Chains A and B, each alone.
Chain A
């Protein structure tokens, strides 16, 4: 089955700096890669996703890049703000054969210091 590794496990940055979280996956058939933000006491919130036919996607201060050859994808947050502090999870799925089944990375605790 699919295995997703996520790094780093914790990340501390100053407000205004950039943050990068990286994930690798094992199943070359995976074709959908979402990122979730989970605040304390809440369910995960989908913040951005990318499909395997695209190399990069951007939404305001967040962007995701995908390298299918190397089987890794990354989340980039620019101009970080204290409200970006949360746990971030990457995930992977093969929407063709395992419809909707997400395999999650271990999570990254992001702390943005004012």
Chain B
């Protein structure tokens, strides 16, 4: 497995502002993903973070709202732009390592509250 850290762990933000969440892995990974978990709900995939190219977004998620960067094989950022209270969620990054192409590991999450 891999050790995954996220910053910040939690934040309270005002509507209309943006927040950038960082995901750092202790080893190079083949794939990185960003998920959203709304309060009391399941996890929904936002996008696949592609190293050196634009992220691949799932239906219902757009780059203008959730810009993603992945400059190398161990780091990615997700920005939540022009936030509204509906963006209050836990945002999680996950990774697939080269050791096992199936197993996906999650970071601890960033708990975002928008007021």
- What B residues does A95 contact at CB under 8 A? 101-102
Query: CB distance A42 to B48 under 8 Å?
Result: no
Whether A102 touches B104, Cβ cut-off 8 Å, given contacts A89-B42, A89-B43, is: yes
Tell me the dominant secondary structure on chain A's binding face: loop
Q: Is the interface on chain B under 10, 10 to 19, 20 to 34, or 35 or more residues?
A: 20 to 34
Q: Is the interface on chain A under 10, 10 to 19, 20 to 34, or 35 or more residues?
A: 20 to 34
- What A residues does B45 contact at CB under 8 A? 101-103
User: In this assembly, does B92 line the interface, its C-beta being within 8 Å of a C-beta of chain A?
Assistant: yes
Q: Mark B82-110, 1 if CB is under 8 A from A, else 0.
A: 00000000001000100001111111110
Whether A45 touches B102, Cβ cut-off 8 Å, given contacts A89-B42, A89-B43, A100-B31, is: no
User: In this assembly, does B75 line the interface, its C-beta being within 8 Å of a C-beta of chain A?
Assistant: no
Complex interface residues of chain A between 50 and 92 (CB less than 8 A to chain B):
51, 89
> Could you tell me the distance between the alpha carbons of A80 and B44 in the complex, rounded to whole angstroms?
29
Whether A105 touches B42, Cβ cut-off 8 Å, given contacts A42-B109, A44-B92, is: yes
Closest to B93 in A: A43
Question: Shortest 4 CB-CB distances between A and B: which pairs?
Answer: A43-B106, A104-B42, A43-B108, A104-B43
Using a CB–CB distance below 8 Å, which chain B residues touch chain A?
1, 4, 31, 33, 41-45, 48, 92, 96, 101-109, 111
